[in-house]
């Protein structure tokens, strides 16, 4: 598809058909990203007041929270600090009070139910709306434009795709072709399929790639072991490889950068919390502050000082169907500090230290410390590092070959099943899979059968799957925050 036609006709058309005002939002974000922090803060406060008004009017659960905190949502003087008086929102709260925190009359098609939380090992059903999709989509495109990537540019996605192809997927393939997007299945990575993926990438010559860090690293290692020269997976028009879904570890970053000959850029977000930070060419992870307020809190719920690790707590300013106000993501992050170390995995891109002799103070009450305007020209606050989810690749037999699949292939099975509070899947060998489940009252024999059936479809009939119901799941000995662990090298 012609790039201009894809980007200027089909992309806006698709967004409009899906009732998303992404194009308008992208233009607005491109203007506000250069504003001084005081002006960005005013935008946040205006949006926060609107969110609190909607939440207290339409969602009884939030109405009680807001009243308990003594907040008058109609007070025009409400500032960001007001958030501090609200209690934190946990996954358990969402699980127990979901309908009470949902605005079912939300405009533009109302709330849509979604399964998430898989990669944390704590499945969760929640509602989202078109507003949030558009806001997150616009923030994603803004960050891609920092790298010179535009809507309609050819893109290859290494992504999870179900084994069973439904009519829906065919429709999606058509849409993807119109938008110049090409999907490769991250759940089916054998020597044969990876050779085909390499051929596809070299034929498409994408401007960017997008996918799970672990799967892109696997493909990169495969290409280099096949004897392909470093950089030969990329082309002169490749601008960046965007990785998401899990923590980017340094060896993975190195091998992806080597095989593709392009920078590896982190996109940090979660299905429930939204898109939270995006890598820029100067090595910071900028927070789309017009859409979200991030707080980094210690175990007592106090803001950490700049440079310290804290839990990411998000208030999404553009989600109305199920407002997320001070929602605990369970991820850990460190805020960018001018004199600190640059982001893990982005060290090659250079640090921004010392450019601005007078650092500005950014949201002091939100634990954001002080940051200078970034070398990339953007004044948005930034994270330096995210320590979130780590997932292993699952390994199975596929005839005389070995098939690797991203852990999400198995996670998707469990998060479709009702009645699971937490789970962990452990692959002990090619023939054994252990599944530990902390059930809720809704878990029954049908849930168990659904899990076993779904996992069999993924890993094959020859694997012995043991499912155990547990009271709790302790952390792994390595302290890894992982819900899928493979002991196969
Ligand atoms: Zn920057």
In this prediction, the residues of the chain whose per-residue pLDDT falls under 50 are: 164-165, 340-365, 367, 479
* pLDDT tens-digit map of 372-430: 789 999 999 999 999 866 667 889 888 888 888 888 888 888 888 888 888 899 999 99
> Could you tell me the distance, in angstroms and rounded to a whole number, from the CA of residue 351 to the centre of ligand 1?
10
C-alpha angle 220-119-482 in degrees, rounded to nearest 5: 80
CATH fold group of domain 1-147+263-389:
Rossmann fold (3.40.50)
Q: List CB contacts of 458: < 8 A, sequence separation 6 or more.
A: 163, 187, 394, 396, 405, 409, 410, 413
> Could you tell me the distance, in angstroms and rounded to a whole number, from the CA of residue 285 to the centre of ligand 1?
7
- Residue 202 DSSP label: H
- Residue 189 DSSP label: B
> Could you tell me the distance, in angstroms and rounded to a whole number, from the CA of residue 199 to the centre of ligand 1?
34
Q: Helical H runs in 239-300? A: 250-260
> Could you tell me the distance, in angstroms and rounded to a whole number, from the CA of residue 437 to the centre of ligand 1?
42
Q: Is 328 helix (H, G, I), strand (E, B) or coil?
A: strand
Q: What percent of the chain has pLDDT over 90?
A: 62
- Name the residue among 385, 380, 414, 376 with its Cα closest to residue 288: 380
Q: Is 134 left (phi over 0), alpha (psi -120 to 50) or beta?
A: alpha
> Could you tell me the distance, in angstroms and rounded to a whole number, from the CA of residue 367 to the centre of ligand 1?
19
> Could you tell me the distance, in angstroms and rounded to a whole number, from the CA of residue 332 to the centre of ligand 1?
21
* pLDDT tens-digit map of 403-416: 888 888 888 888 88
pLDDT score at 342: 44
> Could you tell me the distance, in angstroms and rounded to a whole number, from the CA of residue 377 to the centre of ligand 1?
6
- Name the residue among 244, 294, 46 with its Cα closest to residue 143: 244
292-309 in b/e burial notation, b at 16+ Cβ within 10 A?
A: bbbbbbeeeeebbebeee
> Could you tell me the distance, in angstroms and rounded to a whole number, from the CA of residue 221 to the centre of ligand 1?
29
> Could you tell me the distance, in angstroms and rounded to a whole number, from the CA of residue 280 to the centre of ligand 1?
5
Domain boundaries along the sequence of the chain:
1-147+263-389, 393-486
Name the one residue in this structure whose structure tokens are 């390499």.
198
> Could you tell me the distance, in angstroms and rounded to a whole number, from the CA of residue 389 to the centre of ligand 1?
24
pLDDT score at 242: 98
> Could you tell me the distance, in angstroms and rounded to a whole number, from the CA of residue 100 to the centre of ligand 1?
39
Name the one residue in this structure whose structure tokens are 């949201």.
363
Residue 169 burial class via C-beta count within 10 angstroms: exposed 0-12, middle 13-18, buried 19 and up: middle
> Could you tell me the distance, in angstroms and rounded to a whole number, from the CA of residue 10 to the centre of ligand 1?
30
> Could you tell me the distance, in angstroms and rounded to a whole number, from the CA of residue 284 to the centre of ligand 1?
5
> Could you tell me the distance, in angstroms and rounded to a whole number, from the CA of residue 278 to the centre of ligand 1?
9
CA atoms of 213 and 226, how far apart (whole Å): 20
> Could you tell me the distance, in angstroms and rounded to a whole number, from the CA of residue 146 to the centre of ligand 1?
9
* pLDDT tens-digit map of 76-95: 999 999 999 999 999 889 98
Domain at 393-486: CATH code: 3.30.300.30
pLDDT score at 161: 61
pLDDT score at 63: 97
């Amino acid at each position: 598809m012609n790039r201009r036609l894809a980007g200027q006709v089909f992309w806006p058309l698709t967004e409009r058909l899906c009732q998303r005002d992404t194009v308008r939002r992208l233009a607005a974000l491109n203007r506000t990203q250069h504003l001084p922090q005081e002006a960005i803060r005013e935008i946040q406060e205006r949006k926060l007041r609107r969110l609190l008004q909607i939440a207290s009017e339409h969602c009884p659960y939030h109405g009680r929270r807001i009243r308990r905190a003594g907040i008058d949502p109609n007070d025009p003087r409400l500032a960001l600090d007001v958030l501090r008086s609200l209690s934190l929102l946990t996954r358990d709260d969402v699980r127990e009070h979901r309908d009470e925190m949902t605005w079912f009359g939300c405009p533009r098609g109302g709330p849509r139910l979604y399964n998430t939380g898989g990669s944390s090992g704590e499945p969760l059903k929640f509602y989202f709306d078109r507003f949030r999709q558009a806001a997150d989509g616009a923030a994603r495109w803004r960050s891609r434009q920092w790298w010179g990537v535009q809507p309609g540019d050819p893109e290859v996605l290494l992504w999870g795709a179900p084994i069973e192809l439904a009519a829906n997927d065919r429709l999606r393939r058509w849409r993807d072709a119109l938008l110049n997007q090409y999907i490769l299945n991250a759940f089916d990575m054998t020597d044969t399929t990876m050779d085909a993926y390499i051929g596809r990438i070299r034929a498409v010559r994408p401007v960017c790639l997008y996918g799970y860090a672990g799967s892109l690293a696997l493909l990169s290692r495969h290409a280099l072991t096949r004897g392909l020269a470093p950089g030969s997976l990329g082309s002169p028009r490749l601008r960046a490889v965007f990785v998401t879904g899990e923590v980017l570890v340094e060896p993975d970053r190195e091998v992806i950068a080597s095989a593709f000959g392009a920078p590896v850029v982190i996109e940090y977000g979660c299905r429930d919390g939204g898109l939270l930070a995006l890598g820029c060419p100067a090595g910071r992870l900028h927070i789309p502050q017009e859409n979200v307020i991030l707080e980094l809190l210690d175990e007592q719920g106090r803001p950490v000082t700049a440079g310290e690790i804290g839990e990411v707590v998000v208030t999404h300013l553009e989600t109305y169907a199920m407002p997320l106000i001070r929602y605990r993501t369970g991820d850990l992050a460190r805020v960018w500090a001018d004199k600190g170390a640059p982001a893990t995995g982005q060290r090659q891109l250079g640090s921004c230290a010392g450019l601005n002799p007078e650092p500005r103070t950014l949201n002091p009450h939100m634990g954001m410390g002080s940051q200078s305007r970034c070398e990339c020209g953007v004044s948005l606050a930034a994270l330096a590092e995210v320590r979130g989810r780590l997932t292993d690749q699952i390994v199975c037999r596929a005839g005389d070959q070995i098939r690797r699949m991203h852990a999400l292939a198995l996670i998707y099975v469990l998060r479709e099943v009702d009645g699971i509070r937490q789970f962990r899947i452990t692959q002990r060998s090619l023939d054994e899979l252990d599944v530990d489940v902390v059930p809720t009252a809704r878990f029954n024999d049908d849930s168990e059968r659904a899990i076993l059936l779904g996992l069999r479809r993924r890993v094959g009939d020859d694997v012995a799957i043991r499912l155990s119901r547990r009271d709790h799941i302790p952390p792994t000995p390595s302290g890894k925050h992982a819900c899928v662990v493979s002991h196969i090298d």
